[in-house]
Structure 1
């Protein structure tokens, strides 16, 4: 009888021995062998679907699943600890962030291996160590003479693994790179499930960038496999799905249905959603979008999407979580700080009054403000009882073009922030505080996609300036000078701004819009 040998190659294996154990690798290998081929097939289906959009097709409600949308069914009950999620804080998995976020007063901390984490091996493995220590209540840090440790009461931990499109070059199984999604999920699940269950908790996740209900089915299969592997009940895992692609908003019922034993809610990932909107519809005639700052949650297609998430979630008895407030407190400038907080207040009031059950913030200083707004307007744990049967969102409303203008300032801002973020990511920092906003990969993707689209469509600014490669090249040179002043000459010289600007320029001038900037940049990440 022939025996099949599995070949496993791990780089830097000796550095993180508490995480890279033989048993953990056996679990990862089992996940890879069971699910990687089907993951790659799903990615191939994305390419086929994009080709159809490029030829003029539009996203639509799937005909084959009409019965799922029309029938009365609900998801499995949500655990008590996840019923009140009025304020959630998000951020990368570095040690200080994990402690501060868990202590922030928010109900939930989403520890992020995805858009706010540059996936270097050190970042990923130290992140797994940090989360393991956090689950065990032993996480501490001494830095600059200050000691950080957990409070008695902390936020509930949810973990966001990477999306299906990202491989990890540090582990190969049978000469194939492991999926970043399976690596992040698998290591956290393996090392923490027993401890969480002993505490009366469970492994809770956020799932990013789903484009189709079949991808939700894939994740459900992963969950079932993992629970069976550890001989724990099906439904122990609970997940919240980020609705951050335009195609997913047409398949909300279907995504919930595929995960109905494991799902706790949907979240409006607004920045990735705008990026996906551009990416999917970019080749449609007359498709154009205004400056990034002019696309807000009051833009008709964004409002329609968020209302549909609320209505569908509440129909299926799960939670609808609102979008991110990316503002960072501005020191020594009370006037600008007050204006920024007023924007947050307006945004959060709109969310809670529309029926959202919670919201996101990026900085601990925003937690009290968001809590105050939700406490005032949502006296119950959530608003699932508000079904929003008064609204009916159709396909055209989900696709309606946002109104606005393209300005020179908007073009320059996209270039400036795009280069700054990519450079930060290449230096290993995936959550970059830029101009008093917390930028992650999603906001950089909007900047890149808009610039690409405007060039492709030969658009003009509101002052009549034609957008050309030559204009971009001029602006890149000029914005790099501004960046040098912003970060300081010493930081500029020690950084990777030349590489970042080359990568960014190549992507915005490319004949085809690259799927994800992180796929290109990952080749250069240490």
Structure 2
């Protein structure tokens, strides 16, 4: 009689169940002690997180009823006070250009660290499709990157080996966990779905904090970017998480540092308060401008007088966008931390030198504006942009690591009305089409496991896809008048949207090829995107709605507790 071989599984502490596929490499980060740390964070903070998410929903109901975001009178003394954040660590004083990208694939992580950027933000959020494999490979990649041992053999390129360039130096590593609202359905704590960002943060911190410490003292990391917050109470939770982690590890308070992405409209009215909550752990604020545009639509989804013009027209020249940038710079410099600029989403155009140079000049112009306005650094989506961006910022700074000390008074008189001024510009059927095409192509890639996708000479992630979705929804929901060309005006209706999506699906079939179209998840993505654009109520997040479609449970991945 043959014996059944035991099925390998993760060793888990009491109350933790892993439903993701077992892999020996994943098991090296999903250790019993690491999972116990993650579970402790979940148990301690699940109540405050749930309360904060309910308060988000309450605020949105108020906006739907006609209220507007405002500066909070109750925290006026915080805004008017003369306090500052803890001094910035010398290790991250110079952040003139930062590159962002997903924490997996491995080769991309190595290339980003070798790119010549000052910082690489490894992303578990908008640039990563949160499949189990992507998340766990990302944790393995970052552990090896921190240890300096990461390498990759590319058999598709004749066995070329990629490794860190220790001679030239590598970018400082920041990590962006998911937002508070996102679950991690492959990890259960006490039969509850784990909070995604605490899984991301907890595993990374547990395995890597000692390497950052290395005798260097407080403020030397690990370093993080924090996304999607809407209120300082959410920053307060993160501050408590950091303090809890530092106490667990026996390291100085303030060792962990984090930059907050101001990428929601309500957060623009909470910048001082957010920095105040994180003042021992702060490394500044960032203009997350693509998500900020998305949030403007979501916040004002019930306001027909605040319709966005075509996505391409909602740039930093719009008054509400320029005001938000100026206020962020003034707030950060007053509190003695970095004011980081936004993402340059362009990617090199390899087969057209003239078009490539025109795209680079757009990037240079945008970065000149940021440097002159007072930003201390900025983001790039592709290594090919870094030399041009460094030239602009380093030329402006003249050897200084940042311009926190510069006498720049932008943002001093920014009012609530400045931050809320409706954007101006045309609304066209062609933009409705482009939104559908970009949204479907991105969502198809996301469902297939890719969260950062080059489309039409831009690097698209969940933020830009969200703009495509909510703009189409807003126009249809409020029956926006659209320019159809040749002096013809039409109304955005569900019927028009359905016809546009159908026609753009055929266009996509021609662009990607019939075989690839059938093999991919384009038809599924088209159904999801079309449904969301005509939904009676706007879904909070595109990827949250689609997340269940990429969750694959493996019940034997951790041992039964029965």
TM-score by length of 1: 0.98
How far 1:485 moved relative to its partner? 1.9
**Conserved? CA contact 2:20–2:187, under 8 Å:** no
Give distance in 1, aligned partners of 2:215 and 2:240.
Answer: 26
Query: Which segments of 5 or more consecutive residues in structure 1 lack a partner in the other structure?
Result: none
The correspondence for 1:7, drawn from 12, 15, 40, is: 15
CA deviation string 1:288-314 (max 9, x = no partner): 110100000110000000000000000
Cα offset, 1:484, TM superposition = 1.4
1:67 partner SS:
helix
Deviation at 1:285, TM superposition (A): 4.3
Alpha-carbon distance between aligned partners in 2 of 1:13 and 1:286, rounded to the nearest angstrom? 49
The answer for the alignment partner of 1:76 in structure 2 is: 86
Shift of 1:13: 6.0
Distance in 1 between the 2:347 and 2:510 partners? Answer: 21
Q: 2:109 aligns with which of 98, 106, 115?
A: 98
1:51-101: CA deviation from partner (whole Å, max 9, x where unpaired): 000011100000100000011010001100111100000000110111000
SS at match of 1:318: coil
Give per-residue Cα distances to partners, 1:147-197, cap 9 Å, x unaligned. Answer: 110001100000000000000110011111001110000000001011121
CA deviation after TM superposition for structure 1 residue 389, in Å = 2.9
Structure 1 residue 388, shift from structure 2 partner: 3.0
Which aligned pairs between 1:110-125 and structure 2 lie closer than 5 A? 110-125=121-136
Q: Structure 2 vs 1, CA of residues 447 and 13 (structure 1 numbering), >3 Å: closer, same or farther?
A: closer
Residue 406 (structure 2) pairs with residue 386 (structure 1):
yes
Contact 1:431/1:439, CA 8 A, preserved across alignment: yes
Q: List aligned pairs for 1:345-424, cutoff 5 A.
A: 345-379=364-398, 380-389=400-409, 391-424=412-445
C-alpha contact 1:314 1:387 (8 A) present in aligned 2: no
Q: Match for 1:441 among 462, 483, 508?
A: 462
Give unpaired runs (5+ residues) of structure 2. 1-12, 552-562
2:221–2:255 Cα contact (<8 Å) kept: yes
Residue 12 of structure 1 and its aligned partner are, at CA, apart by 3.2
Q: Does 1:305 align with 2:319?
A: no
The Cα offsets for residues 400-421 of structure 1, whole Å up to 9 and x where unpaired, read as 0111011111010000000000
Cα distance, 1:490 vs structure 2: 2.1
* Residue range with higher mean Cα deviation, 471-480 or 205-214: 471-480
Deviation at residue 284 of structure 1 after TM alignment: 2.1
Moved over 4 A (4+): none
- SS of corresponding position for 1:286: helix
Map 1:330-349 to 2 at 5 A.
Answer: 330-349=349-368
In structure 2, what is the Cα distance between the partners aligned to 1:360 and 1:29? 33
Contact 2:128–2:451 (Cα < 8 Å) also in 1: yes
CA contact under 8 A between 1:432 and 1:438: conserved in structure 2? Answer: yes
Out of 262, 267, 274, the position equivalent to 2:281 is 262
Matched residues, number = 522
Distance 1:387 1:17 in 2: 52
Partner of 1:192: 208
The 8 Å contact of residues 306 and 423 in structure 2, kept in 1 or not, is answered as no
Q: Which residue of 2 aligns with 1:29?
A: 39
Which of 180, 189, 197 pairs up with 1:164?
180
Q: CA deviation at 1:6?
A: 4.9
Q: Would you say the 8 A contact 1:13–1:20 is kept in 2?
A: no
Superposed counterparts of 1:150-161, under 5 Å = 150-152=164-166, 153-161=169-177
Give deviations 1:133-159, integer Å, cap 9, x for gaps.
000111001112221100011000000
Q: Say whether 1:214 aligns with 2:233.
A: yes
Contact preservation (8 Å) 1:87, 1:106: yes
Indicate the larger mover: 485-494 or 361-370.
Answer: 485-494
Q: What CA RMSD, in Å, does the superposition of the two structures yield over aligned residues?
A: 1.1
1:387–1:36 CA distance, 2 compared to 1 (3 A): farther
2:72 alignment partner, one of 62, 71, 78:
62
User: How far apart are the structure 2 equivalents of 1:93 and 1:442?
Assistant: 17
The aligned residue for residue 241 of structure 1 is 260
Question: 1:386: how far off?
Answer: 2.3
How far the C-alpha of 1:522 sits from its partner, in A, is 0.3
CA distance in 1, matches of 2:173, 2:312: 31
What's the counterpart of residue 20 of structure 1? 30
How far the C-alpha of 1:387 sits from its partner, in A, is 4.8
Larger mean Cα displacement after TM superposition, 464-473 or 296-305: 464-473
**C-alpha displacement of 1:481:** 1.3
Normalised by the length of structure 2, the TM-score is 0.92
1:49 aligns with 2:59: yes
Aligned equivalents of 1:287, 1:96: Cα separation in 2: 43
Note the 1:274-285 alignment, pairs <5 A.
274-285=293-304
Corresponding residue of 2:190: 174
Could you give the per-residue CA deviations for residues 440-483 of structure 1, whole angstroms, max 9, x where no partner exists?
00001001000000011111112311111111111111111111
Looking at structure 2, the residues matched to 106 and 31 of structure 1 have their Cα atoms a distance apart, in angstroms, of 33
CA contact (8 A) 2:120 2:174 kept: yes
Please state how far the C-alpha of 1:489 moved relative to its aligned partner: 2.0
Q: How far does residue 14 in structure 1 lie from its aligned partner after superposition? A: 3.2
- CA–CA distance in 2 between the matches of 1:304 and 1:80? 30
**Secondary structure at the counterpart of residue 247 of structure 1:** helix
